Amino acid sequence: MKKSVEIPDCHYPTEPMLVPPSSPTPNQRLYLSNLDEQRFLRFSIKYLYVFRKAIPIDRLRTSLSDLLVHYYPLAGRLCPSTGTGTTNDRLEVDCNGQGAVMVEAFTGIGADELAESWSRPNKSWRKLLYRVDASTIPLVVQVTHLTCGGMILCTAINHCLCDGIGTSQFLQAWAHATAKPMSDPQIGPFHDRTMLKPRKPPQINFAHPEFGANSSNGSHPSSPSLSLNQFLLSQTLTPISLTFTSSHILHLKKQCTPSIKCTTFEMLAVYVWRAWAKSLELPSTLQIKLLFSVNVRNKLNPNLPQGYYGNGFVLGCAETPVDQLLTSGPYYGIRLVQLAKQSLHDSYVRSVIDLLEEKRSMPDMSASLVISAWSRLGLEELDFGLGKPVYMGPLTSEIYCVFAPVVGDSGAINVIMSVPEGVAERFEQYCIKGFEEREEKDEIEGVNGGERYREIAV
């Protein structure tokens, strides 16, 4: 396991600046759908980019200001909804043009030093993003200059305004505006979220196990005396980062054929879910869940318009007793994930929206692994005019799992999450174990399998 590097304190030569739109924008309130302003989304998605060459801060500020003319809600402020018939805890966006927050910083470290461990974030990495009241400010940016002449770009985008696809769309538009000034976004943003309003009266026509309501398999309910999530949050956590290369993923997929055909996400999600459950040594009869975000833009009738950057996803939910997940072959878990994805049609999504209107439900985290897939959003392709990043990932490692892209290998995935210190080594070993047969075969054939074996446990 590679060590993690402590980031030196950042020096801020100037105070944080507000970056308003460069020309007047609509002064209005933006409705947020029930998918947008869920309680569990009231945080900022924090991305970290490392670039070998730094873009001048004035150039970044100018292009951001120009782009905010198009993405003007990100220059506004989140506030309680003033709509009639709404509860006090609903949110909307006051599109007042106050501006995003941008800050410039310097730190005494170079990209090569960071390269030793940038896939293993620690608490000191939080210095790379200026702290502001993220509950009201939709967009915060910190540009940190490195001693090598490169830069770290950290962005915090409030999840209530954008999902992963939306954040990627915005960041790609910003990079395009910086590299090619005076050009309009390649994909224009679509702001209106009223097409996701709940029905009147609400119609909750499906069981929603992702929220813990009417579990689809009542024969193995989660034990009320055990909240795995509470236990995990009470532990000292350590970050884990496993790099699955294209060849690793191909090998795992071959293990599933001809029994079942699957996507990379389906296969890897189940692989990590099984390793997670096994390493935590969960009770064999405990009902556990895998929660994962599914883009529903093209599953709704009508489809969400091109450029829709709000939250256009719902949670898929696969659930099973621990013993059945671990004693069955991988195809069992993969089939559960596939069935969960297939259920997310228009009527189901509308039922989710109506459920959130009636009950303001939270996802069932009592015994769940949550996976957020960033690996196919094009986040690693960001180019502000001086080259693509050498690293892209989350700012910090959280208890939920992120599938992050790997720069330079479009078929590879970084699996990043935090687990209790006492199970970290066990979790890594269970992930590695699936390759042991292949490595032994390679050594017999004269291939240096050890190096490839260790690459998985970075």
Kindly state whether residue 300 falls inside one of the protein's structural domains: yes
Is the domain of 146 the same as that of 256? no
Q: Please give the Cα distance from 121 to 48 (Å, whole number).
A: 10
Kindly state whether residue 3 falls inside one of the protein's structural domains: no
Structural domain including 353 reads 209-456
Q: Is the four-CA dihedral 73, 74, 76, 78 of positive or negative sign?
A: positive
Is the domain of 379 the same as that of 420? yes
Is the domain of 161 the same as that of 281? no
Is the domain of 88 the same as that of 163? yes
**Domain-terminating residue out of 196, 227, 253:** 196
Please check whether residue 294 is in contact with residue 338, taking contact to mean a CB–CB distance below 8 angstroms: no
Q: Mean pLDDT for each 10-residue chunk of the chain (458 residues)? A: 78 96 97 96 95 97 97 97 70 98 96 78 88 90 97 97 97 96 86 97 95 49 59 88 90 80 94 96 94 97 97 98 94 96 97 94 93 94 96 89 92 93 92 56 34 28
Is the domain of 266 the same as that of 412? yes
Q: CB neighbours (10 Å) of residue 243?
A: 18
DSSP annotation string for 25-56: ---EEEE--TTTS-GGG-SEEEEEEEESSPPP
Is the domain of 223 the same as that of 187? no
CATH code, 97:
3.30.559.10
**Domain-terminating residue out of 175, 196, 217:** 196
Is the domain of 231 the same as that of 134? no
Kindly state whether residue 124 falls inside one of the protein's structural domains: yes
Kindly state whether residue 377 falls inside one of the protein's structural domains: yes
Q: Which pLDDT does position 203 carry in this prediction?
A: 96
Of 70, 145, 159, 191, which one is the catalytic site residue? 159
Kindly state whether residue 261 falls inside one of the protein's structural domains: yes
Kindly state whether residue 9 falls inside one of the protein's structural domains: no
Q: Which pLDDT does position 84 carry in this prediction?
A: 56
Of 323, 383, 409, 442, which one is the catalytic site residue? 383
Kindly state whether residue 103 falls inside one of the protein's structural domains: yes
Residue 383 designated active-site: yes
User: At 245, which helix (H) or strand (E)?
Assistant: none
Is the domain of 219 the same as that of 270? yes
What residues pair up with 380 in beta bridges, in sequence order? none
Nearest CA-CA partner of 95 in 73, 117, 110: 73
Is the domain of 318 the same as that of 294? yes
Is the domain of 122 the same as that of 263? no
Count of domains forming the chain: 2
Residue 159 designated active-site: yes
**Domain-terminating residue out of 138, 161, 196:** 196
Kindly state whether residue 252 falls inside one of the protein's structural domains: yes
Q: Which pLDDT does position 30 carry in this prediction?
A: 97
24, with CB counted inside 10 A (0-12, 13-18, 19+), is exposed
Q: Which pLDDT does position 86 carry in this prediction?
A: 53
Cβ neighbours of residue 59 closer than 8 Å, sequence gap 6 or more: 178
Is the domain of 189 the same as that of 286? no
Is the domain of 115 the same as that of 245? no
